[in-house]
Amino acid sequence: MGLNNIIDNKTMKILLLIILIMIPVYIIFIYASLSPGVNSYVHFEDKMYYSKKVQNNVTTITITSYITNEGLSDSGDIRLKIFVEDQQGISQKEAEKEVGSITSHKTKEVQMNVVVKESERYNVDALLFEDDKRIVSSEGDFTAPTSIEDKETGGAFSPEEEREDGASKGFSTPGFEVLEIIFIAFIFTIFVKGKKRLNK
């Protein structure tokens, strides 16, 4: 028994029409998913790097962050904010820097300087914002030997990263799930209708 005996011509035409409509609609959704910020996945790399310089009784900490976008689309406007405090938690400083958009599958290096009092241990809180919405928070600490005058020390530390609820996941196609449900429901309806015709 041929397909036309199970599915009438009218149903076949409707099915073909839906398929023809879904193709350009899907293309539109794919294009929308590549818009900046829609499917970006911005995060810190595994390590942050620091350098510490003491000069004239002033301690300058330079934090170097590598920020990567592993998403399908370019990111929105990225802003980095860091807080650095000493081991007593008394001297807390903050710095902020506009990073801009990060291209898909690219990494940006960002350096920020903060001036704090001399300490052997520092705690660093780093926040990433995309289009003014916080997407990632990260916290880590490092121990830096006390420097002598005009001496610079440095190293790396691995912060713990936490992704905020609602932040882009980097791989979804907005709205396509609805199209899939509609298409599957239609195919199921045709299957049920065809089965009833066969049972007659």
Domain boundaries, the chain: 3-36+173-199, 42-163
37-41, 67-71, 85-89, 113-117: least confidently modelled range: 37-41
Report the pLDDT averaged over residues 59-85: 89
pLDDT digits (tens, 9 = 90+) for 151-198: 667 888 887 888 766 555 555 444 555 556 666 766 666 666 655 655
CATH code of 42-163, in short, is: 2.60.40.10
For 109, other C-beta atoms within 10 Å of its C-beta total: 11
Percent of the chain scoring above 70 in pLDDT: 61
184/186 Cα distance (integer angstroms) = 5
